[in-house]
Structure 1
Amino acid sequence: MFDIPNPLIYAVDDDPDDCVLLQQVFSSRHSDCQLRCLDDGSQLLIWLTHRLDGRLPDLILLDLHMPVLNGFDVLRLLKQDDVFSRIPIVVISSSDHDNDLKRCEELGGVAFITKSGSYRQLAKLLDDLRYQLLD
């Protein structure tokens, strides 16, 4: 389905339940994707900097409100880097504040998804997102 063979996607979220939900969606609907869940922004920077998967991800799904390094700071840092700035970043957050959406757009996020906790809704949003960003 993707033009990229076996796309690598990093999901950065401190909530293990959200990562489990993402893993369920990807394993059932997008099994050709490799999904790696990371706990926070600082862990993401380590994986990116050291290329621990042997390559950069094709997409980053990023939560906003995390300990250590939040999503806003991650967006700002990645978009300032010549290499990392090419990776599309989609913010997936429980926040529904217009200011958060606007700030994410200003910092270079390509999309903003409000978490619902619903498998069906998340699956639909990720299906749409996949075809928009990675096909």
Structure 2
Amino acid sequence: MYDTPSYQSYSDDKIDILLVEDNPVDVRLTEEAFKTAEQEIALQTVTNGDDAVEFLQQSSDTDLPDLVLLDLNLPGRDGCDVLEVIRDDPRLRPLPVLMLTSSEADEDVARCYDARANSYLTKPTDPAEFISLVDIFARFWVEKVHLPPIPQ
């Protein structure tokens, strides 16, 4: 038998999100969209895949984000390579990773799901639609989903 973790309620706590995004416009739009979330969101941003891996590997267990919002097309390691590093590391493996990218290519979608992405979202080109997508993401992943327990 094993102990079933008790999922923490995030209703009164902030959610820590690591945004891995190299486009400053998309970073700004994401920040704007998260301002409308019912829950407080702390957004940490890195702009390339190598920095994302370094950030995660150097974070203590209590400083890991609650989830990762990861672009596919990044300088350095691409998003799928970052995802593979996360899934190969037993300490990082439980992190929910959501791909947020401009690519609609079937091979990119398949590659990310093969690497065990939790979801794959395609960025709209219209800023209002982008904010709407991030708002929908926030309402579902931040306000509705039970995230893995925070290490004690």
Instruction: Answer yes or no: same fold by TM over 0.5.
Output: yes
Distance verdict in 2 for CA 1:38–1:65, change over 3 Å: same
CA contact 1:8–1:58 (8 Å) conserved in 2: yes
Query: Which residue of 65, 70, 83 maps to 1:57?
Result: 65
Total equivalences in the alignment: 134
What are the ranges of 5 or more consecutive residues in structure 1 without an aligned counterpart? none
Q: Judging changes above 3 Å, is the alpha-carbon distance between structure 1 residues 25 and 129 closer, same or farther for their aligned structure 2 residues?
A: same
Using the alignment, how far apart are the partners of 2:75 and 2:146 within structure 1?
Answer: 28
Shift of 1:134: 3.6
Compared CA separation, residues 115 and 9, structure 1 to 2 (3 A): same
When normalised by structure 1's length, the TM-score is 0.88
Question: Once the 2 structures are TM-superposed, how far is the Cα of residue 133 of structure 1 from its aligned partner?
Answer: 5.3
Q: Relative to total residues, which structure has the larger helix share, 1 or 2? A: 1
Q: Any conservation in 1 of the 2:9–2:146 contact (CA below 8 Å)?
A: no
How far apart are residue 127 of structure 1 and its match? 1.8
1:111 has 2:111 as partner? no
> Do the aligned partners of 1:47 and 1:53 also contact (CA within 8 Å) in 2?
no
Q: CA RMSD in A?
A: 2.1
Tell me the equivalent position of 1:128. 140
Q: Point out the structure with max Rg over C-alpha.
A: 2
Q: Closer, same or farther in 2 for the Cα pair 1:86/1:6, shift >3 Å?
A: same
Other-structure match for 1:95: 103
> Which 4+ residue blocks in structure 1 deviate beyond 4 angstroms?
none
* Cross-structure match for 1:12: 20
